[in-house]
Amino acid sequence: MKEPAEAFRHIRRLQIKALRHVNDLFAGIYRSTFKGKGVEFEGVREYQPGDDIRSIDWNVTARAHHPFVKHFREERELTMMLVVDISASSHFSHIECFKSEMIAELAALLAFLAIKNQDRVGLLLFTEEIELYLKPNKGIHHVLRITRELLYFAPKHRGTDVRHALSFLGRVQRKRVICFLISDFLTGDFSLQAAFIAKRHELIAFHVFDAHEKRFFPHALLRLRDLETDEEAIVDTADPLVQQHFQRQAEEHDRAIKSIFERVEADYLQVQTGESSSAFLQRFFRLRRRRR
């Protein structure tokens, strides 16, 4: 755990970075991607060239003897829930950036995007159990609390259970939310829970991975340890059969995870440790807008 002064500086650096990206790179793109619940009548104003003639208020126009149009305001307020995996397996990387750091930075950027647009944002941290739940709220102080928890929360458990996290979310969040599920998905099947959440909410999954989880790089004998169970094994990474078996298992796992989200028509993207979190989010928003 970092000292308070160092932790404060870390949070402050992430805040500055997030706000810069929010202002410079995502101005308007979040708002146009996630629409509000509907529109609300606000009044009438004089017709201007380019206005949709279908919005003309004929009663007012008849009384005023020149055209007036109805003016509507978007009911903007949305609720974002960040459902974030903080299991022990997230503390892995073959480079300086751990999966946990990538996960935290993505979640923090999304939180700042939400409050920039006057939306509410909540946080659910999970391992094999629910570690922390912060109800959706607004304001910079709330988002700084979320950022601090993302960076420094110390979980009591080490495993991963996406099923439990989605089941909990379904119980506590009755109103529709935009759910960002961010995990390395080293977990069992959660198809039923994903289907339930996708039916009631908008489900978006970010799969964070490290290149060394996809294939062994040929070295020699390596002692490997499971970060969640502490089980150890010695593996000959120079053996082509070992390489092929490991890569095949990784590919099968990825296909299974992707298939879960495809079946429930939820957005699913993979992001690698070391990739720019802001560049990844830009890619996500571009892809989403094209699909919509």
Confirm if 179 and 126 have CB atoms less than 8 A apart.
no
Residue 22 has what pLDDT?
Answer: 72
Statement to judge: residues 115 and 11 lie in one domain: yes
Residue 97 has what pLDDT?
Answer: 83
Residue 16 has what pLDDT?
Answer: 75
Residue 290 has what pLDDT?
Answer: 74
What mean pLDDT do residues 198-212 have? Answer: 95
Statement to judge: residues 197 and 234 lie in one domain: yes
Statement to judge: residues 261 and 171 lie in one domain: yes
Statement to judge: residues 50 and 177 lie in one domain: no
pLDDT digit string, tens, across residues 84-118: 999 999 998 777 789 999 999 999 999 999 998 88
Question: Residue 244 belongs to what domain range?
Answer: 4-29+77-291
Statement to judge: residues 56 and 139 lie in one domain: no
DSSP-derived secondary structure for the chain: ---HHHHHHHHHHHHHHHHHHHHHT-TTHHHHHS--SEEEEEEEEE--TT--GGGB-HHHHHHHTS-EEEEEEEE---EEEEEEE--GGGS--SSSS-HHHHHHHHHHHHHHHHHHTT-EEEEEEESSSEEEEEEEE-SHHHHHHHHHHHHH---S-----HHHHHHHHHHH--S--EEEEEE---S---HHHHHHHHHHSEEEEEEEE-GGGT-PPS-SEEEEE-TTT--EEEEETT-HHHHHHHHHHHHHHHHHHHHHHHHTT-EEEEEETTS-HHHHHHHHHHHHHHH-
Q: Which of 1-15, 21-35, 57-71, 195-209 has the highest mean pLDDT?
A: 195-209
Residue 34 lies in a domain: no
Nearest to 30 by CA among 71, 78, 82: 78
The pLDDT of residue 56 is above 60: yes
pLDDT digit string, tens, across residues 259-291: 999 999 999 999 999 899 989 998 999 888 776
pLDDT digit string, tens, across residues 23-46: 766 767 787 788 765 555 667 888
At which of 75, 101, 134 does a domain end? 75
Count: domains in the chain: 2
Cα–Cα distance measured from residue 150 to residue 148, given in angstroms and rounded to the nearest whole number: 5
Cα–Cα distance measured from residue 90 to residue 228, given in angstroms and rounded to the nearest whole number: 10
Residue 52 has what pLDDT?
Answer: 74
Statement to judge: residues 212 and 86 lie in one domain: yes
CATH number of the domain within which 86 lies: 3.40.50.410
Residue with the bigger pLDDT between 241 and 16: it is: 241
pLDDT digit string, tens, across residues 59-89: 888 888 889 888 765 556 799 999 999 999 9
Cα–Cα distance measured from residue 214 to residue 247, given in angstroms and rounded to the nearest whole number: 6
What share of the chain in percent tops pLDDT 90? 50
pLDDT digit string, tens, across residues 231-257: 888 888 778 888 888 889 999 999 999
pTM: 0.82
Residue with the bigger pLDDT between 221 and 171: it is: 171
The pLDDT of residue 119 is above 80: yes
Statement to judge: residues 121 and 210 lie in one domain: yes
What mean pLDDT do residues 195-217 have? Answer: 91
What mean pLDDT do residues 134-152 have? Answer: 94
